Amino acid sequence: MCGIVGYIGKQKASPILLEGLKRLEYRGYDSAGLTVHQNARLETVKKTGRVDHLVRAVDGQSLSGRLGISHTRWATHGSVTDANAHPHLSSDGRISIVHNGVIENHRNIKRFLVAQGYSFCSETDSEVLANLISYHYEKETARDQTRFVESVRKALKHIEGTFGIAVLCAECPDQLLGARRGSPLIVGIGDGEYLLASDVAAVISRTQNVVYLKDNEIVALCPDNFSISTINLEDVDPIVSRIDWSIDEVELGAHPHFMEKEIFEQPTALENSMRGRFAADGSTANFGGLNLSPQEWRQVDRLLFCACGTAWHACLVAEYLIERYARIPVEVEYASEFRYRNAPLEKNTLVFVISQSGETIDTLAALREAQRKGFRTLAITNVVGSTIAREADGGIYQHVGPEIGVASTKAFTSQILLSAMVALYLGRLRDMSYTDGVGLAEALKGVPALVDRILRENGHIQEIARRYSGYEDMLFLGRQSMFPIALEGALKLKEISYIHAEGYPAAEMKHGPIALISDRCPSVFLAPQTETFHKVLANIQEIKARNGKVIAVASESAPFPEGLADDRIVLPDAHEALHPILATIPVQLLSYYIAVERGLDVDKPRNLAKSVTVE
């Protein structure tokens, strides 16, 4: 969940490291630090708080070294203190390390190292690895360039858990080492320089050529070359990939926050997700990477979707869409629960996972568990070269560009759109008619324009947000495919405004939650024109009868009674399959503007990080 940046090359390392950390701050912002190799010493600076605190601490120091590592931390082991910030030095000052992940057996290793005379100054599991590498470095018999690599290799063989690391040695001024297991790490190949990073956003300003490390691989970077091998001493031929993002896509531009930028990028993002994915006859969708023939799809009796957080809500929408339009049973599981359950699955079940980053640790574990049991796996993900993208049997790239804001926006609506396209594809393989297929395909093609219409009403939504920004509780309610959007709306509000919010099926209000209703607990009703519209109106009446305030999100032509809601946000009339996407836009804007009105940093909400790569 934290951010790693390493550099070796011809330029001063510290400015490059600090720039990379700024781009990765969404991955962790409890503390930040760096180590630069300089004058045969490892010079380390680290501070609690945002990267700006580190920048001020580095200013005025003479850090001219051309080799360094750096880190932004999201605390797992140990509280937020300068001592617990990364990088961590071995007690002899020889080794500096930055680490993402969790070392599960760190206590046993620490006891061993203390007995060997090593000391510790932090509460972290990561410091254990720094001292363990130093221990093996001291014992290593080789005295050439391989000594450092072998000490890291031997140390990692003792590690239980996950890691993405970058390591420096005071006695090796021309080597930067990295390794991964379960936590992402990439190599950026620049002009006379190399970078290590946990995310491509850190390297995009210097290169678009990267190598994605696989689990249990170690990379050794020197000023003019690099090599990759496995922990078990097998040589690896690196595969160089090219990032298809531009530097502009990771810049704020004219927007005050990445979340706002990414909300307003959704028409373009959705267009990019669809591009080239409709059949020539206009009646179905086409996906080049699913790696299943129509005949194999016909053998699938059930789909299982797994994900976490916002992506799990997208899975719930997929369940409604696929069951309605393709008539295939769908189950949805939290990936974190599925990986530890012994759930019985029918033999013709296909497992679909959804993850924006492609690195979500629980989702990756669920995918691996499904594969271990012999099930075919597919993925929807946004990051080319990510671990989930590489390990799934097939999948669909979202192509929405980098999503920097911690609270997912454009990735979520893209996941819903692609799920609808999967429903169309599977429906046409089964019993959906040509005419119905053309109708749904045409509706999906019109999504970007409809989303743009809603975004043009942002001023009205901002005014509503102003009126509700002082409340501390809020309910989000909807029926059928609006229920997952109610969950997502509540999550968004919780994430960035710290207002307690809950999402429920509207009809479930009478089964307990209605006890919360008062003039201090507003309700957001998602009520597009569907067969349950009048049922939702009845639920709103129940809230109003108890002095609850209501914000209604309803279709423009729906017969919505005048004065029933305190505030109303209008959705364009559209095909029912589009309602989940269209209803998402107002709740994103509402949450965003409420958080801004409360003076909060929406891109860096407290206690959260963008990509969850630890359990």
pLDDT value at residue 318: 98
What span, in angstroms and rounded, lies between the C-alpha atoms of 99 and 163?
A: 6
Q: Is residue 611 scored above 70 in pLDDT? A: no
DSSP H helical segments within 373-446, as ranges? 387-391, 410-429, 434-445
How high is the pLDDT of residue 609? 66
Asked if residues 156 and 188 have their Cβ atoms less than 8 Å apart, the reply is: no
Which of 2, 169, 315, 521 is labelled catalytic? 2
pLDDT computed for residue 30 by the predictor: 87
* Angstrom distance (rounded) from CA 292 to CA 257: 40
For this structure, is 535 an active site residue?
no
Q: How confident is the model at residue 238 (pLDDT cuts 50, 70, 90)?
A: very high
Give residue 225's pLDDT band: very low, low, confident or very high (50, 70, 90). very high
- Identify the H or E element spanning 371: helix 361-372
Grade residue 1 by pLDDT with cuts at 50, 70 and 90: low
C-beta of residue 474 within 8 angstroms of C-beta of residue 551? no
**Residue in the block written with tokens 């909300």:** 263
Answer whether residue 28 shows pLDDT above 90.
Answer: no
* Nearest by Cα to 360 from 308, 406, 401, 395: 308
Tokens of 576: 């029912």
In this prediction, residues 150-176 reach a mean pLDDT of 95
Do residues 552 and 527 touch, judged by C-beta distance below 8 A?
yes
Q: What is the DSSP string of 454-501?
A: HHTTHHHHHHHHHHHTT-SEEEEEESTTHHHHHHHHHHHHHHHH--EE
- Write down the pLDDT at residue 615: 59
pLDDT value of residue 128:
96
Reported as type and span, the H/E element at residue 548 is none
Domain spanning 3-249, CATH class: alpha beta
Q: Is the pLDDT of residue 142 over 80?
A: no
Task: State the CB neighbour count (10 A cutoff) for residue 277.
Answer: 19
pLDDT band at 610 (very low <50, low <70, confident <90, very high): low
> What is the DSSP annotation of 294-334?
HHHHHT--EEEEEE-HHHHHHHHHHHHHHHHHT---EEEEE
Whether residue 87 has a cis bond before it, omega within 30° of 0? yes
The residue behind tokens 């605190």 is: 53
**How many angstroms separate the CA atoms of 459 and 461, rounded?**
5
Does the pLDDT at position 369 exceed 80?
yes
Report pLDDT digits (tens) over 407-454.
999 999 999 999 999 999 999 999 999 999 999 999 999 999 999 999
Averaged confidence pLDDT in the chain? 93
- More confident of the two residues 249 and 81: 81
- What CA–CA distance (Å, rounded) separates 255 from 356? 22
Identical topology for domains 3-249 and 458-615: no
Q: What is the mean pLDDT of residues 366-372?
A: 95
- Look up 610 and say whether it is catalytic: yes
pLDDT greater at residue 342 or residue 154: 154
Three-class SS state of 196: strand
Instruction: Return the amino acid letter for 424.
Output: L
User: Which of the four pLDDT bands, split at 50, 70 and 90, describes residue 342?
Assistant: confident
Handedness of CA 363, 366, 371, 375 (dihedral sign): negative
Taking the CA atoms of residue 153, residue 155, residue 160 and residue 165 in that order, the dihedral angle to the nearest 10 degrees is -70
Residue 253's pLDDT is what? Answer: 85
Q: Where in 309-441 does DSSP place strands (E)?
A: 330-334, 349-355, 377-381, 394-397
Residues of the chain with pLDDT > 70, as a percent, come to 99
Q: CA-CA distance, 438 to 481, in Å (whole number)?
A: 22
CA distance 185 to 613: 11
Closest of 175, 174, 173 to residue 218, by C-alpha: 175
Identity of the amino acid at 248: D
**Whether residue 261 has pLDDT greater than 90:** yes
How confident is residue 606, by pLDDT bands cut at 50, 70 and 90?
confident
For the chain, what percentages of helix, strand and coil (3-state, to nearest 5) are there?
40, 25, 40
Judged on CB neighbours under 10 Å (0-12, 13-18, 19+), 293 is exposed
| pLDDT confidence bin for 76, thresholds 50/70/90 | confident
Mean local confidence (pLDDT), 391-395? 96
In this structure, are strands 31-38 and 41-48 parallel, antiparallel, or unpaired?
antiparallel
Which tens digits make up the pLDDT trace of 581-601? Answer: 999 999 999 999 999 999 999
Between helix 309-325 and helix 410-429 the angle, nearest 10°, is 20
Judge residue 139's burial from the number of C-beta atoms within 10 Å of its C-beta, 0-12 exposed, 13-18 middle, 19 or more buried.
exposed
Q: How far apart are CA 439 and CA 105, in angstroms?
A: 57
Judged against a pLDDT cut of 80, whether residue 614 lies above it is answered with: no
CA distance 608 to 615: 14
Q: Percent of the chain scored above 90 by pLDDT?
A: 79
Structure tokens at 238: 């690196």
pLDDT band at 605 (very low <50, low <70, confident <90, very high): confident
- Quickly tell me which residue has 């899975």 as its tokens: 315
Give the start-to-end residue ranges of the domains of the chain: 3-249, 252-445, 458-615
Catalytic residue among 110, 261, 604, 610: 610
Q: What is the pLDDT of residue 217?
A: 96
pTM above 0.85, yes or no: yes
Query: How many other C-beta atoms are found inside a 10 Å radius of the C-beta of residue 72?
Result: 33
Q: Are residues 91 and 172 in contact, defined by beta-carbon separation less than 8 angstroms?
A: no
| Residue 310: strand, helix, or coil | helix
Task: Report the distance separating Cα 509 and Cα 346, nearest Å.
Answer: 34
The verdict on domain 458-615 having CATH code 3.40.50.10490 is yes
User: pLDDT at position 244, please?
Assistant: 81
Bridge-based pairing of strands 473-478 and 500-505 is parallel
Query: Considering only the top CATH level, what class is 252-445?
Result: alpha beta
